[in-house]
Chains A and B, each alone.
Chain A
């Protein structure tokens, strides 16, 4: 009944993270795009490195979100008995 049950929380969490992941991929892509269009003074090697790094990180994070989404929606943490 409440908005904040484990499931909808996991949704909130995953959405927010997915936005970040998507934005990272977009940033990486646009860095490379600008480079190819010749709209930057940045050294090509650096731009490629940064662009690819961001894309890789964004995708990796996306994968991570997916894994954690599975875990989140299934388990409530059990900190008792420690």
Chain B
């Protein structure tokens, strides 16, 4: 009985990770391991960079009570358009980046103002934004494609062939990216350091700690995974630039949601808005933060998008909101709000990314892709129904 519930808890806690492993395993089998080739691993990251960034922002909105932002795809497109136009007029690239982030933030704040202070439902506000900014991009670009020719920009933010962190430790005759390995080792060391420190401080405070073997197994698995991927990346061209941006965003927002007061208030509003307001918290400001921040991250996603595609087009960013919302939903954010974590959402996004790339490597026709998508959704639906049954 006890072991059974234990096993069940384990499965429940790590459902998405298990799903990710299974799906990756499936594709590794079907593609004869191609999906684990260095190049494809790189692709999963650079092609989906925008999903990671947007899903993180979307999580903050969803945390406040299942509120979503439908405008992100259009905002990505509009920000990209602004950037492409600015750079085509010869603007300095860093200035252009600042402008793009500012535009994103401005749009986010504009929508956030209506949502937080005028109390227009987010669905309506952002639906309007979705139409407005798509339309504006069309007007500015006049329906055409505008190339981004600034090479430095593409190199730093893009996902193409040249967009890698230069290997400062490079040595003649070593066919591997050393910087990449160094970073991987540092990451493992940091992980171990923080786990140990955390465990010790918890013990000191007399709080319950997990069993030693659990910590050990976890650590071994995580270190192995990190090393495997850095090795793979090192065998190819090293660290893709996109990875840097994604990791930065993920780390910053994991920290914000789990350690800061703002993060706490986001969860609190999702849990019980009235109680939060009566506890002296300015809930409007928190709503404003969530949506303004979404704009900022949409700005960043816009930068990543035009850099990867080296152009701006009025059709860019279509369905990006769905990718972001989907990642959140798959990654365990609750439509009720107040539940969900950044790492969870990232795993959700990874799962979608792996499926997309896996299928395109297999060269399966569109119908198969639909079937796979449908099955994933079906799993989510079943999970939804079953988990409610269990609760009641």
Contacts and interface: CB of A to CB of B under 8 A. Distances in A.
Direct contact of A and B (CB under 8 A): yes
B269 to A, nearest CB: 7
A30 interface: yes
Given A3-B273, A13-B336, A64-B385, A23 B66 contact: no
A21 B381 CA distance: 9
B273 A4 contact: yes
Nearest to B277: A2
B365 interface: yes
B67, B68, B123, B381: residue with the most chain A Cβ atoms closer than 10 Å: B381
B66 A20 contact: no
A50 B371 contact: yes
Contacts of A4: 64-65, 269-270, 272-274, 337
Given A28-B374, A68-B388, A41 B66 contact: no
Contacts, number: 90
Contacts of A64: 385
B366 A34 contact: yes
DSSP majority for the B interface?
A: helix
Nearest to A79: B391
Interface residues of A, number: 34
Given A2-B274, A64-B385, A31 B370 contact: yes
Contacts of B123: 15
A30 B65 contact: no
Given A4-B273, A28-B374, A40-B365, 20 more contacts: A1-B274, A2-B274, A3-B67, A3-B121, A3-B273, A4-B269, A4-B270, A4-B274, A9-B65, A9-B336, A12-B66, A12-B337, A16-B335, A24-B377, A35-B367, A39-B365, A39-B367, A42-B365, A50-B374, A68-B388
Interface of B: 64-68, 119, 121, 123, 269-270, 272-274, 277, 283, 329, 335-337, 365-368, 370-371, 373-374, 377-378, 380-381, 384-385, 388, 392
Interface of A: 1-5, 9, 12-13, 15-17, 20-21, 23-24, 27-28, 30-31, 34-35, 39-42, 47, 50, 53-54, 57, 61, 64, 68, 77
